[in-house]
Structure 1
Amino acid sequence: MQISRRMMLLGLGGLTLTGCVTNEVGAKLDQTGHGAAQAHNLRIQTGELSFAQALGERFAAEVPSTVNFAFDSAVLDAEAQAVLARQARWIRQFPEVTFRVYGHTDLVGSARYNHQLGLRRARAVVDFLVRNGVNRSRLEALVSHGQTRPLIPTPEPERRNRRTVTEVSGFVRRHPTVMDGNYARIVYREFVESATWVRPNTY
């Protein structure tokens, strides 16, 4: 039986596509098995997973989103500043994306005092990100969840509860559709930057 030229080309094209794996610049290689990327794309195309959610997941995977504070303090120590410098670098890559910074406290002290302390912590983070090149209009400092969302439920002082969490909140301009070209432009920009060839040193 003779195979038509068209069927043969279709078969070869299918093999080529099957063997081709592409990852967005900066994205980790998907090790979950064939079809995971397709499932992810389907969730985005059907609206089940918005671009804001997808970017939020990527941000949380690529950059530490949390910094911690000393007791009764909103001062950023050296460790917190190092984390926030990484956040600022990541955030500057996506000028169309907005972020919220949530301030938290431990369970020591009154709810009213902790509310204000958490807000001071969130504002300290926003101020640091602004000083590191992020436009203030893209950042929002929110009041503390205080005693309602401790990581460690204890009435004692607990450093892990004294924290801020930075999260993707949306886009500068609300998008009526999932893909309106803005996100594609960002991906393309990153692709071009990553594809720049640097001549190695030769001796």
Structure 2
Amino acid sequence: MKYSLSATVALVILAGCDNANQTFPSFFSEAGAVVDAHQEFGSATTHNAAIQNGSKSYTVSLAKRFAEEVQSTVNFAFNSSQLDENARATLRQQATWIRQFPEIRFRVYGHTDAVGSNAFNKRLGMRRARAAVSYLSTLGINRSRLEAVVSFGETQPLIVTQGRERRNRRTVTEVSGFVEANPNLLDGKYAQIIYREYITSGVPLPTGAVPTINASE
């Protein structure tokens, strides 16, 4: 017996419906009925809805993304606020990310190790924060979007020690908020931001943008 092409296709579809592990439950489902969980398709809609109803903070989301995508910390030599080449390379990487989001403000926090008095270390930490801000401002970042805040000095070490520790001698750059008070980025301008980020993502990072880690001094 010969089957027509349409009958053969129908049999294939019906046979597929009996497979409990199939991806598509129905050939006739509306577009978008199947969500690809592995690729998290549809997450953007969920994210935007959460921002609109106030259950999720866009500032917190961007801060988390910045920390995940960019090295947020630069380190310093002992008793110094001078930026070495590794520090400048990290700050260039930060600037590349920051330029994609001109709506966002950033703070730079300065830290030291435990050697020296607390008062001296607070001043040193602030000098380090200001050095990072000054360099970022030379990379096309408007100074009004950058803030060197009160230094934590030696009070928040990464490595608990009373001796010299390069990993504690650092600045940390973080997202702090928006340039304008409570802007609604999910209006018509939101598409412009996403498009701008898409275009920028195709530009190669500057040479030397991936920093290396020196041994502790």
Considering the TM-score relative to the shorter chain, is it more than 0.5?
A: yes
How far the C-alpha of 1:187 sits from its partner, in A, is 1.1
Distance 1:69 1:178 in 2: 37
Q: Does 1:145 align with 2:152?
A: yes
Given that 1:100 and 1:142 are in contact with CA atoms closer than 8 Å, whether structure 2 keeps it comes out as yes
Larger Rg: 2
1:33-182 equivalences in 2 (<5 Å): 40-175=47-182, 177=184, 179-182=186-189
Q: Deviations over 1:26-64 (max 9, x none)?
A: xxxx76x67866654454333232111111111111110
Which ranges in structure 2 are unaligned for 5 or more consecutive residues?
1-25, 203-217
Distance 1:193 1:81 in 2: 21
Structure with the higher helix share, 1 or 2:
1
Aligned to 2:211: none
How far the C-alpha of 1:88 sits from its partner, in A, is 0.8
Q: Say what the alpha-carbon RMSD is for the aligned residues.
A: 2.8
Q: Is the deviation greater in 56-65 or in 184-193?
A: 184-193
TM-score w.r.t. the length of structure 1 is: 0.76
Q: Is the deviation greater in 118-127 or in 138-147?
A: 138-147
Given that 1:116 and 1:143 are in contact with CA atoms closer than 8 Å, whether structure 2 keeps it comes out as no
| Aligned-pair identity (%) | 56
Q: Does 1:18 align with 2:18?
A: no
Letter in 1 for 2:155: T
TM-score w.r.t. the length of structure 2 is: 0.72
Letter in 2 for 1:144: S
Q: Deviations over 1:45-94 (max 9, x none)?
A: 33232111111111111110000000000000010110000111111111
Given that 1:44 and 1:178 are in contact with CA atoms closer than 8 Å, whether structure 2 keeps it comes out as no
Letter in 2 for 1:160: R
Letter in 1 for 2:35: T
Which ranges in structure 1 are unaligned for 5 or more consecutive residues?
1-7, 22-29, 196-203
Aligned residue pair count: 178
Given that 1:102 and 1:166 are in contact with CA atoms closer than 8 Å, whether structure 2 keeps it comes out as yes
What SS does structure 2 have at the residue aligned with 1:148?
coil
How far the C-alpha of 1:110 sits from its partner, in A, is 0.6
